Chain A
Amino acid sequence: MNRRGQAFQEAAGNILVIALVITAMISFVITTQYQNDASQSLGNNSLFNDTVTKLVNQLQDAENESALQQNLFNDEKPKQGFGSIVLFGIVPAVKTFSTNTYGFIGLIIRIPVVLFGIDPTIQNTVITWLIILLLIAIWLVYKLGG
Chain B
Amino acid sequence: MGNCDIMLHQFGITGIADILVYPTVCDYYFYAKIFAFLFLAIAGLMYFIERQFIVKPDLISCLGVSSLATSMLATIGSLIKSADGIPMVQGDILAYIIGGSIVFISLWLWKQ
Answer whether A and B are interacting partners.
yes
Please report A residues at the B interface, Cβ cutoff 8 Å.
14-15, 17-18, 21-22, 25-26, 28-29, 32-33, 36, 38-42, 44-45, 47-48, 108, 111-112, 115-116
Most buried by A among B71, B102, B105: B102
Which listed residue, B81, B92, B100, touches A39 by the CB 8 Å rule? B81
| Neighbour of B96 across the interface among A25, A28, A115, CB < 8 A | A115
Residues of B within 8 A of A39 (CB): 81, 85-87
Q: Contact string, B51-83, partner A, CB cutoff 8 A, digits 1/0?
A: 000000000000000001001000100110100
**B interface bracket (residues with beta carbon within 8 Å of A):** 20 to 34
- What 1/0 flags go to B36-59 for Cβ under 8 Å of A? 000000000000000000000000
Q: Flag if A42 contacts B90 (CB, 8 Å).
A: no
Secondary structure dominating the interface of A: helix
Instruction: Please report B residues at the A interface, Cβ cutoff 8 Å.
Output: 68, 71, 75, 78-79, 81, 85-87, 90-92, 94-96, 98-103, 105-106, 109-110, 112
The residue from A21, A28, A47, A48 contacting B109, defined by CB atoms under 8 A apart: A21
CB <8 Å contact, B98 and A42: yes
Q: CB-CB < 8 A to A36: which residues of B?
A: 79
Is the Cβ of A29 less than 8 Å from the Cβ of B99? no
Is there an interface contact between A112 and B109, defined as CB atoms closer than 8 Å? no
Question: Smallest distance from the beta carbon of A53 to chain B beta carbons, Å?
Answer: 16
Q: With a CB–CB cut-off of 8 A, which chain A residues contact B96?
A: 115-116
Q: CB-CB < 8 A to A29: which residues of B?
A: 71, 75, 94, 98
Across-interface contacts of B105 in A (CB, < 8 A): 18, 21-22, 25
CB of A142, distance to nearest CB on chain B (Å): 24
Return chain A residues, CB-CB under 8 Å to B92: 45
CB <8 Å contact, A42 and B79: no
Q: Are A108 and B86 in contact (CB under 8 A)?
A: no
Partner of B103, one of A21, A48, A112: A112
Are the CB atoms of B90 and A40 closer together than 8 Å? yes
B98 to chain A: which residues have CB within 8 Å?
A: 25-26, 29, 42, 48
Q: In the bound complex, what is the Cα–Cα distance between A111 and B81 (angstroms)?
A: 26
